[in-house]
């Protein structure tokens, strides 16, 4: 079945540091890939997406590139801020059925210190 | 534009009881999905509804059931509650059945004692 593996957290960085959160996936077919962010006490917000190989998703300074050859979708940001502190989830869509259910990783908590 | 809303925010139930959670989709969205998020875990897909019909189900027992209404709002019902049902329940709506994008509500925190 489909699965997503994320690096374990928490990831603790100082403000303006470079961020990488690793994500790899297993899927049949060609899934779409997503990063969602969850701030404390809130639901999930779509951060960025990529729907085919070599696509780069970007939003709010975050980027991730769909790498089919390595089945990866690592999240990066050049300079993190305290306000980026949250839990980040990598997810993929269900490529083989009519429904668009999402399969999520277990999440990576990011803590940014001033 | 109103986003996805869920009610109640929190509730506490006793093992063996039944619970109903409610979700209002984002305006114009006709597809709704439900997810269970255990503490410290990623959300797990429960089921999806489109045009008032179940359109796919994850690995959850039949005591988890749902409804979608003509106005696209939705309910999640859980019978015979177990302690392991304690979780954050998230509703997500999509603009149409073929859309990959899902917009999540803030969730309902269910505690089963």
Check residue A99 and give its pLDDT: 65
Digit-by-digit pLDDT tens for chain B (113 residues) are: 578 999 999 999 999 999 999 999 988 888 999 999 999 899 999 999 998 999 889 999 999 999 999 988 999 999 999 999 999 999 999 887 777 788 999 999 999 99
Digit-by-digit pLDDT tens for chain A (114 residues) are: 789 999 888 999 999 999 999 999 998 878 999 999 999 878 899 999 999 999 999 999 999 999 999 999 999 999 999 999 999 999 998 766 666 789 999 999 999 999
Using CA of residue A96, residue B55, residue B87, residue A48, what is the dihedral sign?
positive
User: How many A-B residue pairs are in contact by the CB < 8 A criterion?
Assistant: 67
Check residue A95 and give its pLDDT: 65
Contact A35, A93 (CB under 8 A): no
Q: Is A49 in CB contact (< 8 Å) with chain B?
A: yes
Check residue B63 and give its pLDDT: 98
* Whole-Å CA distances, A38 to A80, B77, B92: 16, 25, 14
User: Phi/psi at B103 (nearest 5 deg)?
Assistant: -115, 120
Chain A residues touching residue B101 (CB < 8 angstroms): 46, 49
Q: Residue B37: closest CA among chain A residues belongs to which residue?
A: A106
């Amino acid at each position: 079945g489909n699965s997503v593996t994320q690096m374990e957290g928490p990831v603790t960085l100082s403000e303006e540091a470079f961020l990488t959160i690793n994500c790899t996936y297993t899927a049949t077919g060609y899934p779409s890939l997503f990063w969602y962010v969850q701030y404390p006490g809130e639901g999930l917000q779509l951060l960025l997406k990529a729907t085919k190989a070599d696509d780069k998703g970007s939003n709010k300074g975050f980027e991730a590139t769909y790498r089919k050859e390595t089945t990866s979708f690592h999240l990066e940001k050049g300079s993190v801020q305290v306000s980026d502190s949250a839990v980040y989830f990598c997810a993929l869509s269900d490529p083989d059925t009519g429904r668009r259910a999402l399969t999520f990783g277990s999440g990576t908590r990011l803590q940014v210190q001033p | 534009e109103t986003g996805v809303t869920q009610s109640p925010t929190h509730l506490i139930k006793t093992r063996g009881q039944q619970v109903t959670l409610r979700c209002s989709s984002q305006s114009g969205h006709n597809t709704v999905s439900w997810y269970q998020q255990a503490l410290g875990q990623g959300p797990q897909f429960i089921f999806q509804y489109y045009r008032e019909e179940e359109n796919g189900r994850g690995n959850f027992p039949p005591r988890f059931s749902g409804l979608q209404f003509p106005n696209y709002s939705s309910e999640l019902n859980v019978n015979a509650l177990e302690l392991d049902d304690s979780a954050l329940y998230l509703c997500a709506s999509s603009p149409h059945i073929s859309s990959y994008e899902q917009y999540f509500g803030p969730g309902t925190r269910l505690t089963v004692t």
